[in-house]
Structure formats: structure tokens, C-alpha cells
Chain A
Amino acid sequence: MPDPRTDAITCGDTEDDAKVDPVTLSRRDFLTAVGMAAAGFLAGCSPEVREAYLQKHFLELSPPEVEARLGRLHADYAKRFGTQVQVSALPAQPGVVFGYALDLSRCIGCRRCVYACVKENNQSRNPQIQWIRVLEMEKKKGIDFEAANPYYNPEQVPDPEHFYLPVACQQCRTPQCTRVCPVGATWQEPDGIVVIDYDWCIGCRCCMSACPYGARHFNWGEPEVPAAELNPNMHVLGNRPRPRGVVEKCTFCIQRVRAGRYPACVEICPVGARKFGNLLDPESEIARILREKRVFVLKAELKTEPKFYYFYGI
């Protein structure tokens, strides 16, 4: 009896051929037909759309191809937000590995950093995405993630019974998030920043389950950033507006730090708890902290080797 599945989509094959290898042949025909249709569709499209469909992995792009992609993004954002933006692809500088330190004896849990980060990095306002999460913990208990409360909301902070531990991406030296990504859409750059190519991410969220710090966030809905609040100073692997269905996270403000500036959270923190710099420069603030203070990393036993350190400045 002829197989109804192959019957339906084989056309033009002799019955003998179909008997030899009905499934392979019919699949090949099917794929060819689909391919032809896709090619026909793409031939009729604008170069931008073609580029979007046939794009290569970001790390395989030649300099002109990077330019082409930036051009496509510029046009796309200009149309969507009605304003000119600057998307850069500034690469890592040689001799620079970024590190971060946060003084737990200073942080008062005011959440200024959380909202400065949302603003700088064009995070969706609604559905809300926040890359920094400030955990309130009891002084009596010490660091205890089970008992931590991110929803604290007293009239005034700091509360005398509590201390505060802000957490975002720890920029691990051996990140598990990049290992598990099935398509290689997230990787560690030479300056140590773990980035995501939003054009390559398929939204499977494997990285979210691999990250031990809850640092990654998924765009379940269409991200909403009002045009008037858009930060036009963007990096292609950082704060440019994301599409729905991709993962995002802290990049140490790649658009700022690759241009020599401090991250937005460092600039806003009213108590100066946040410290940033080049780990390879012995004179930098971060290198001094590692030398002179007792620092620790979160969940050190997991061997993720974060480049985000916590210390007690007092």
C-alpha cells in the first residue's frame, strides 16, 4: 500500500523511486520546493530584510558586514522610535578585563541603581524588566538567599535590622550560560563581558536555567520603551532595544565602559558603594580593592568565578 504521507507530497517521482526511498526523496523535494519559495520571497524583498533573514553569526561578520548590520539597526530604530540613535560596535580594548566591586557595608538598599540601569539600558518598562535586583537580608542571619526579600518597601532605608545585597550578572570567567546555549548566541568577549546577540538568540531560555544568579531576563511580551525615554547611545551587543522572545542581562553598560566611562549604576549610587575598573591595571580602584580588602564572590563553590566582587569597606 502506498504510504499516504509520501503520497501527499511526492510529485513527479516514479513509483519505483518512491519505493526505493520514499521518505528521503519526498523530503528532499519538499525542502527544495520550500527553498525555492523562500529564495523567490527573498528576491522580492529589500536588502535590509534579506540581510535580516540571511544574516551570519555576529562573530563571523567582516567589518563591512558589521557596518551593514548597524545601518539596518539605525534605519529600524529610526522608524520605530522616530528619533536618531547611535548604535556602536566598539570592540574590546587589548589589556582590559573589567571587574566590579560592591561595598556591602555602604549599600543602603535605595534602588537608585535599579532604575538608573533601566533608563540607561532601555529595559522594558512594561512588562517590567530590571537587570539589578536588590536583596534585603537579615543581619542576624547573614547571607541567606532562601530568606532574602527583593520586595522590601519601608518608608526609609536602611533598616537597622537588615543589610542589602544587589545582584546582577556576575560576568563569570567560566559562565555556564554561554556553555549551554545551543546556538552560540551568547559568549564572553575578550574584556570579560558576557554578551548576547539578540539577532541570534532563539529564546529557548537554556541560559536562564543555567545561570546560578538569576541574572538573565526573558522578553515574554513586546518590550515597551517610550520613544521620549530612549537612550540613543547604544551598543549592538548591549542596550539597543530588544525584540520580543529574546534573553537579556547586565553588560557592565558595554556602551559606556568601552568608551571609558563608568557604568550608570556607579554614577547614580548615592553612597558610592559601587566600584568599577580594569582588573589588569594595578593602579585601578578595583585592583586596589582586591589587594587591600577582603572580598568574596557569590556562590564561590560553583566555580563560576565571577568578576563581580563584594567587600566590606569598613
Chain B
Amino acid sequence: MSAVTVLAILVVIVRAKPVIPPEGTAANKAFSPADFPAVFAKEEGLIGAAGAGAAPPGAGAVLFPVPAPPFSEGVFPCMECHGSIPANGERRVLEAMHGDIVLHHDEEHRWCLDCHDAEDRDHLRLASGALVPFTESYRLCGQCHGTQYRDWRSGIHGKRTGYWQGSKRYLLCVHCHNPHSPRFASLQPLPPPVRPQFLRSEDALAAAASGGPGTDADTKENGDAGPAH
């Protein structure tokens, strides 16, 4: 009796075959960087360098321009329109213009004119009333986010590229955080690594293509002919 049970279990173990999930969904296909040209198109760190990789170690002279603030197409300078529109301090849903802006940034307490100067829309306005250009928007952000500002200035928060020993290119807060909705947007992850059993993926693909081990058909057939009957 027990010998039969053991034998049955053994048969089940031996007969069990891996179920290969559909291609590419569960780590059975080897993806390569070439499959994601959009992700790897730009060599961000070297914009502005004299020829990619040409700078010698410690090349202090190579300057990396900070990218311009990420304005929507055609909105700057703001005063081209706002110069002739009287400022409206009323809290409201924007309809005539800027309909794409939905404020998700402490919207209970904040409104456009807390950061944008009512008289001079080409500048931002600090709590002190001082005006700062958009290229120095970090001073505005730093008023509330003091620890992030401190860390950003020493390179702990935020992203620096280029040379650890030499010129660095850094980004403004608004290059990563939409100031009107600053939570970092989610991304689609690049695919998982190939599971060890599929490492030689030609085998896995050939098996899947020929209806070999692990295809749906095969699994079903296994079930039908299996020791359970």
C-alpha cells in the first residue's frame, strides 16, 4: 500500500513539467537594452561636453548647462498674454487657459498666486516678496522643503550626471517633480531577468513553438493521461 503511494508520488514528481507562461510575461524571454530604444536614446550626462567622453579626468573646464525649466510649449514669456489681462486672485478651476494644470500640491492651502507673482508673471515670488527667475525656482521650493533643499545642494537629493571628478550637470526640482503635482509619476518597469530554467532561451522558445514541454496543450494532455486516472 505505502509502496504504491510512494510510487504514485514519484510518478507525479517525475511527470510534472514546468508550465511555461506566455512569452515575455514571466521572465522566460531574454530582453536586451536594444529592445528599449526610447529609454537609452539620450546620453544625458554628456550634453554640452566637448565631444562625448573627450574630457580628461578632473576636467573642471567642461561646463554642463542646466537644462531650461520645462515649460509647456509656447507659454513663456508669460507677460505676452498676462501683460494685458488684469490679475484675478479668485480661487477657481482654470478653463480659458492652462486647463491641463490640476493642482495636487497642498491644494487646500495653496493657489497660483502664492508662487507666481501677480504683477510680473515672468517671475516667481518668494514669501518675502522677492522675485526670482524660473531658472532659480529651487529657491522657491526650498522655502517649504528645507531638508530636501539642503540635500540637493550637496548632491544627496536629486540627480547629478557627468563627472564625479569634474563638472556635473544637475537638474532643477521641476525637472523631476511637476510643481503642480509633485509626486514622482509611476513608470512601467523594464522586464524581469530570465528565470534560470529558461536561461538558454532558444530552448524555451523552441519548446514553446513546437508545442513541446510546458505548452498549454501539453499540460492538458499530461493531466488527462496522468497518474490520477
Contacts and interface: CB of A to CB of B under 8 A. Distances in A.
A151 B26 contact: yes
Contact of B155 (A133, A155, A288): A288
| A93, A118, A125, A229 — most chain B CB neighbours (10 Å) | A125
A133 B189 contact: no
A125 B161 CA distance: 26
A151 B193 contact: yes
Interface residues of B, number: 51
Contacts of B25: 153
Interface in B182-197: 184, 186-195
Interface of A is mostly: loop
A262 B164 contact: yes
Contacts of B159: 269-272
A111 B190 contact: yes
Nearest to B187: A110
Given A150-B192, A151-B26, A313-B151, A293 B156 contact: yes
A41 B148 CA distance: 67
Interface string B168-185: 000100001000000010
A233 interface: yes
Nearest to B195: A151
Contacts of A266: 160-161
B189 A233 contact: no
A112 B36 CA distance: 10
B55 A260 contact: yes
Contact of B30 (A111, A127, A270): A127
Interface in A90-131: 93, 108-112, 114-116, 118-119, 125-128, 130
A126 B53 CA distance: 28
B33 A116 contact: yes
B30 A126 contact: yes
A212 B36 CA distance: 32
| B44, B156, B161 — most chain A CB neighbours (10 Å) | B156
B30 A272 contact: no
| B157, B158, B164 — most chain A CB neighbours (10 Å) | B164
Interface string B189-216: 1111111000111100000000000000
Contacts of A62: none
B189 A150 contact: no
B189 A277 contact: no
Nearest to B163: A260
B101 to A, nearest CB: 23
Given A119-B40, A128-B201, A150-B193, A292 B156 contact: yes
Interface stretch (B56-64, B108-116, B129-137): B56-64
B142 interface: no
Contacts of B155: 275, 285, 288
Interface string B33-62: 110100110011100000001011111000
A267 B169 CA distance: 10
Contacts of B31: 115
Contacts of B84: none
Interface in A27-58: none
A221 interface: yes
A116 B36 CA distance: 10
Contact of A288 (B39, B156, B189): B156
Contacts of B201: 126-128
Question: Nearest 3 CB-CB pairs, A to B?
Answer: A272-B159, A260-B57, A285-B155
18 contacts: A108-B187, A125-B30, A126-B32, A127-B201, A154-B189, A156-B187, A158-B186, A220-B199, A260-B165, A261-B163, A267-B43, A268-B40, A272-B158, A275-B155, A278-B164, A288-B156, A293-B156, A313-B156
